[in-house]
């Protein structure tokens, strides 16, 4: 147990600070239940839930700030946050928003939590799909555990998930750092890591998620399609310097607590890793000030 890291992750960051008295207590089961009643995975709205989202609901996937996201949620449906909305009244989200809002609610109650970027193994057998989960501190067993708020009853049925979404295992969700190290050892085919819905996979995707995971571990939770700093494009070859840089990042993110001070220092000191306030939103095809 690292008391410094627990204290750090128990307080809000720039995107998880909210001014809201309606948030639920820090019980992980209740928090996930509330999040699932507020958000709907936008690309699954029609095929999974048979609902059409308005432009306001759909565009919420690009919102980085939890407080502003809650404002949009209330604008769509003004009932108390802890009261689940029907699917058609929820706000569009992707995995990162389910995870970030879970983290927001846990931190608001003083419970250590952090959003993690990596790959889910339960969406397409044999493949590691781009994904985010929430990691929370379980004081009873004094361990970090992972929860996937995206996996409501509908999602679990659609993908045949039989595990526990409140206790996702390290084989079900592989952090970007673990994926990177497995690829570097030759134990993982990077061609099976990425996003099947757009047909893009490769080691560059692992590196991209590793940069996002490092930022998130520094309480800078970005969009999955935000690009800045170190990395390389599909079809390009990384330089040895870039590979060595991501080796360092992976070594710190696979166990963020043991070398917590080093993890914080690397992010803050390296201009190629730190999000400096301007990113390329690839989904919208434009640079944005954050």
All structural domains of the chain with their residue ranges? 3-289
Residues contacting 28, CB < 8 A, separation 6+? 106, 136, 147, 166
- Which range is least confidently modeled, 11-25, 183-197, 243-257, 271-285? 11-25
Q: CB within 8 A of 257, min separation 6: which ones?
A: 1, 2, 5, 144
Q: What is the mean pLDDT of the chain?
A: 96
First to last CA, the chain: 33
Segment 269-290 shows an average pLDDT of: 96
Quick one: pLDDT at residue 127?
98
Q: Do residues 212 and 176 lie in contact, with contact meaning Cβ atoms separated by under 8 Å?
A: yes
User: In the predicted model, what is the mean pLDDT of residues 1-6?
Assistant: 92
Average pLDDT on 123-142 reads 96
Structure confidence by residue, pLDDT tens digits, 71-112: 999 999 999 999 999 999 999 999 999 999 999 999 999 999
pLDDT of residue 24: 76
pLDDT at 21: 66
pLDDT tens for 174-211 read 999 999 999 999 999 999 999 999 999 999 999 999 99
């Amino acid at each position: 147990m690292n008391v410094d890291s627990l204290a750090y992750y128990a307080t809000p960051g720039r995107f998880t600070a909210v001014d809201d008295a309606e948030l639920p207590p820090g019980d992980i089961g209740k928090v996930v239940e509330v999040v699932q009643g507020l958000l709907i995975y936008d690309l699954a709205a029609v095929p999974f839930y048979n609902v059409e989202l308005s432009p306001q609901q759909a565009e919420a996937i690009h919102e980085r700030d939890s407080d502003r996201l809650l404002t949009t949620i209330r604008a769509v449906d003004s009932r108390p946050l802890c009261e689940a909305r029907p699917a058609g009244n929820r706000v569009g989200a992707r995995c990162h928003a389910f995870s970030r809002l879970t983290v927001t609610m846990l931190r608001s109650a003083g419970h250590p939590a952090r959003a993690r970027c990596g790959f889910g193994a339960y969406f397409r057998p044999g493949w590691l799909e781009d994904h985010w989960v929430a990691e929370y501190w379980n004081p009873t067993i004094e361990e970090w555990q992972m929860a996937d708020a995206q996996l409501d009853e509908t999602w679990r049925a659609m993908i045949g998930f039989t595990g526990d979404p409140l206790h996702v295992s390290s084989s079900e969700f592989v952090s970007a750092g673990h994926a990177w190290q497995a690829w570097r050892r030759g134990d993982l085919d990077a061609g099976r890591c990425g996003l099947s819905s757009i047909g893009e996979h490769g080691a560059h995707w692992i590196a991209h998620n590793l940069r996002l995971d490092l930022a998130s571990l520094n309480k800078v939770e970005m969009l999955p399609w935000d690009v800045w700093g170190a990395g390389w494009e599909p079809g390009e070859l990384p330089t040895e310097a870039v590979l060595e840089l991501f080796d360092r990042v992976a070594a710190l993110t696979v166990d963020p607590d043991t070398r917590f001070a080093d993890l914080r220092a690397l992010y803050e000191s390296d201009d190629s890793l730190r999000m400096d306030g301007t990113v390329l939103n690839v989904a919208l095809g434009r640079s944005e000030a954050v």
